[in-house]
Amino acid sequence: MYDKSEEFALRIIKLFKHLQTNAKEFILSKQILRSGTSIGANLNEARGAESTRDYIHKLHISFKETYETQYWLRLLHKSDYLTAKQFELLDSACTDLRNQIARTLISQKKKLK
């Protein structure tokens, strides 16, 4: 999950560079950069959690960031900054990451019971 989030963040950084340099898009690109890299940042912060509840909280933040990231991806696609293929690849990777985070959240919540 941590490696996948880092790989995803690197893809988002490349997208950001492309949008800024080639498409001259400066608003949405900053939003996608912020949310897309936040997923992994919060997952890595969770590694240093003070408790299981803190770990779950940080995982949940990452989980929510996947939804925000997909929102920006949809807007970029619908405004023709992303091709259908680019959108599908990034959206699918984000969904996979969210599903992995969700499975971890479920297992961690069971530990609390």
pLDDT digits (tens, 9 = 90+) for 63-89: 999 999 999 999 999 999 999 999 999
pLDDT on residue 100: 98
Q: Give the number of domains in the chain.
A: 1
Query: Nearest to residue 62, comparing CAs of 18, 100, 92, 32?
Result: 100
Per the structure, the complete domain to which residue 46 belongs is given by 2-112
CATH number assigned to the domain comprising residue 13? 1.20.1440.60
* Centroid of chain to Cα 34: 9
Query: Nearest to residue 75, comparing CAs of 22, 21, 17, 35?
Result: 35
User: Whole-prediction pTM value?
Assistant: 0.94
pLDDT digits (tens, 9 = 90+) for 82-113: 999 999 999 999 999 999 999 999 999 998 87
Q: Which two tokens stand for residue 9?
A: 């963040």
Determine the Cα–Cα distance for residues 31 and 3; give it in Å rounded to an integer.
22
